[in-house]
Each structure stands twice: as structure tokens, then as C-alpha cells.
Amino acid sequence: MITLHRLAHSPEPFQLNPDLITIVEAHPDTVITLATGGKVVVMESPDEVTEAIRDWRAGILDEAWRRRHVSKVPA
């Protein structure tokens, strides 16, 4: 999950599953369109959303790599 902030709402962050994101646009506010058809307007720029998604995916790959290599270490 990535952490974002809704525009014009309370400053509390929310978590979004990046697998649901289909489009990130600037109109000039950042609008995220979801696979469900829903839209979310966030404070982060499209570049910041993209970076959060990349970091999230890299973290998943890193964890999978670590688990695979730790399980291969002889006892």
C-alpha cells in the first residue's frame, strides 16, 4: 500500500493499493483513476505518486529476494 493525502480533506494520510491505479493525471490537481472507476484527488504530484508506487514495488521484490535466499541457507 502507498500512503497519500486527499486534497481538501483532513491532513490524515490514507493507504491506497497501487494495483488498483490505472491513470494518474494532473488537471492541475492530481487525479488518480482506479480500476473500479473511482477517482481520488490527492495532494501529491503525479511524480510523487509514481515514486511511491516504484518504492512499493521495489520493496516487494526486495522482500521476495531476501526470503528466497534466506530459505536456501543451509542449517
Q: How far apart are CA 33 and CA 57, in angstroms?
A: 19
E strand spans, 1-75: 2-4, 14-16, 21-26, 30-34, 39-42
What's the domain count of the chain? Answer: 1
27 has pLDDT over 80: yes
Q: Model confidence at 44, in pLDDT bands (50, 70, 90)?
A: very high
Which structural domain, as residue segments, surrounds residue 35? 2-71
How does the average pLDDT of the chain come out, rounded? Answer: 92
